[in-house]
Structure 1
Amino acid sequence: MKPAPFDYLRAMTAQDALDALAQYGEDARVLAGGQSLMAVLNMRLAQPKVLVDISRTAELDAVRVDQQARHLVVNAAATQGSVEWRSTLTDEAPLLAMAFPHISHFQIRNRGTVCGSIAHADPSAELPLVLAALGGDVMLRSRKRRRTLAAQDFFQGMLMTAREPDELVEAVRFPLRKEGERYAFAEFSARHGDFAIVACAAVVTDESIRIAVGGVADRPVTEQWPRLRGDDLRGALNDLSWKLNAQDDAHISAKYRRNLVRQLGWRVIEEAK
């Protein structure tokens, strides 16, 4: 299929994009990398009247470290590749560096944007999972206001977020590496580059475990535990696997998904010890 007809607007400044979103609201869609959006348009799951292209908006194409707030800030037009290929990424946000190789293929990461993946909110996608695991947040901007939402408040369900129709996902913020934290990431997919059937990320300290699971519920789910070990940890992972309400689908059974949560969850926690 091909997209329904739409008007195209290239935003040369962030204000151009905000003005268009204010004018057209729900009839507009933002195009940054297009790796998720174009598939949705081709299947006519979305039929916007106006496509607002921010891919050449220089002020939105930036990645920077905010040392005061201790965040890696990724702006709306910055590609996944521009973050992945930072020579300092492993030191800044190790979990993010671990997740990138699992995201599709390098050609897609060369074009797709970090904020675009967050805004799309696919529950199987790696970047929303990492943002949730690290306790990051999403910076939203409209012509009238700016606001910042924690990842857990931004993701509302499958392909659903708290973004208002006139708002632009201006940037996302990943917390920088903290002393004493250790990280691990793993996923199971049919083929390398496919969406994860189940993905797990862990942030472990000497006192606590934070685990995030994607691909099972309708959004990334995080759990915080004390430093459990042995049977206590296996029991907590089993409880989590049932809490996620896994469903049978064309790819895999709910039973197998629950088992993947237990096995991958154990693996990432052990690797992050």
Structure 2
Amino acid sequence: MKPAPFEHQAPLTVEQAVSVLTEVGYDGKVLAGGQSLIPILNMRLASPGHLVDINRVAGLDTVEVTPDSVRVGALVRHAGLERSESAYAVLPLLRQALVNVAHPAIRNRGTTVGSIAHADAAGEMPAILALTDGVVEVAGPAGSREIAWSDFFLGALETSLAAEELAVAVRFGRFPDGTGTAFTEAARRHGDYAMAGVGVAVTLADGVVSAARASFVSVTDVPSVLDLAPALGGVEPGTSAWDSALDDAAEAVRGHVEPEGDIHASADYRRMLVTELTRRVLPQAADRAGASDD
């Protein structure tokens, strides 16, 4: 199929983009990478009258590492962020997740901010924004504002962005020293949407777990974070108590997620799968946390 007719707009600045979005309102869609938007248009699941193409807007294609975060502009492609050595050095979780996003051809064009703004709970990067306590930077007719991840995602493919606002960047928060991370997912074929996925962060202090958290892919309606410290806190990885703590953490995940069944997997299978995946990646994150302490 082909998309319904639309008018193509190509602003050169953020201000021009916001002006166009203000004028067209909900009849406009922002185009950055287009890897989610174009299929939706082709299937006519959306029929906007205006496509606001921001690819010519200067200054939105940078990755910046600060003491507190990794800031990713709206035109940074998945592949660019994946290859960023400066981002990987301070937040390896980004690359750990990005290698699971679709296929290289998709990552070469798709944008990380666009994936987050699409707000698909089956996407990896919304879950990573949540796990890192991230923030979305927004430009609108009233100026700039920041939206915490917990206020950004409202439902399936729904965010708190107003029709006249543009997401110009996201900031992924950095973890404390002594933190290790890991990400994994299970899909029928590599590059397909995951049946279930999980990212975890484990922080060690004096050899024992001082903080632990997880976020999930394809098993919750919106991105969510589960605090695993009640199960793992105060436990030294690799000891006899560690296995029992992992069981407790897995049970916490089992009770937290709310998967739905579809043609790919039942709800019960997704719940079992994400529980096992969490138990599998927590030791990886703990090992990396221990290595960072050395």
Q: Is the pair's TM-score, using the shorter chain for normalization, greater than 0.5? A: yes
- Asked if 2 retains the 8 angstrom alpha-carbon contact of 1:139 and 1:147, the reply is yes
Aligned-pair identity in percent equals: 39
Correspondent of 1:173 among 171, 174, 178: 171
State the one-letter code of the partner of 1:33.
G
Q: What residue number does 1:242 align with?
A: 255
- Asked if 1 retains the 8 angstrom alpha-carbon contact of 2:6 and 2:48, the reply is yes
Q: What residue number does 1:188 align with?
A: 186
Count, aligned residues: 271
- Normalising by structure 2, report the TM-score: 0.88
Compute the RMSD of aligned alpha carbons: 1.4
Correspondent of 1:210 among 213, 218, 223: 213
State the one-letter code of the partner of 2:189.
R
Q: What residue number does 1:159 align with?
A: 157
* Correspondence list, 1:28-67, <5 A: 28-67=28-67
State the one-letter code of the partner of 1:215.
S
Does residue 255 (structure 1) correspond to residue 255 (structure 2)? The answer is no
- Asked if 2 retains the 8 angstrom alpha-carbon contact of 1:9 and 1:51, the reply is yes
Aligned equivalents of 1:201 and 1:225: distance in 2?
Answer: 12
Q: What residue number does 2:292 align with?
A: none
Does residue 219 (structure 1) correspond to residue 222 (structure 2)? The answer is yes
Paired residue secondary structure (1:109): helix
Kindly state the Cα deviation for residue 178 of structure 1 after the two structures are TM-superposed. Answer: 2.8
Q: What residue number does 2:114 align with?
A: 116
- Asked if 2 retains the 8 angstrom alpha-carbon contact of 1:95 and 1:185, the reply is yes
Q: What residue number does 2:84 align with?
A: 86
- Asked if 1 retains the 8 angstrom alpha-carbon contact of 2:92 and 2:181, the reply is yes
State the one-letter code of the partner of 2:106.
I
Once the two structures are superposed, what CA deviation does each residue of 1:176-228 show, in whole Å capped at 9, x if it has no partner? 34311110100001111111111100000121210111101112221112225
Aligned equivalents of 2:281 and 2:223: distance in 1?
Answer: 16
- Asked if 1 retains the 8 angstrom alpha-carbon contact of 2:60 and 2:73, the reply is yes
Once the two structures are superposed, what CA deviation does each residue of 1:118-145 show, in whole Å capped at 9, x if it has no partner? 0001101111111111111111110212
Aligned equivalents of 1:49 and 1:120: distance in 2?
Answer: 18
Task: Give 1 or 2 for the bigger CA radius of gyration.
Answer: 2
Aligned equivalents of 1:201 and 1:262: distance in 2?
Answer: 12
In structure 2, relative to structure 1, the CA distance for the partners of 1:66 and 1:236 (3 Å cut) is: closer
State the one-letter code of the partner of 1:265.
T
- Asked if 1 retains the 8 angstrom alpha-carbon contact of 2:221 and 2:258, the reply is no
Q: Which moved more, 1:169-178 or 1:249-258?
A: 169-178
- Normalising by structure 1, report the TM-score: 0.95
State the one-letter code of the partner of 1:26.
Y
Paired residue secondary structure (2:177): coil
Q: What residue number does 1:141 align with?
A: 139
State the one-letter code of the partner of 1:220.
P
- Asked if 2 retains the 8 angstrom alpha-carbon contact of 1:14 and 1:59, the reply is no
Paired residue secondary structure (1:58): coil
Paired residue secondary structure (2:26): helix
Q: What residue number does 1:24 align with?
A: 24
Kindly state the Cα deviation for residue 232 of structure 1 after the two structures are TM-superposed. Answer: 4.1
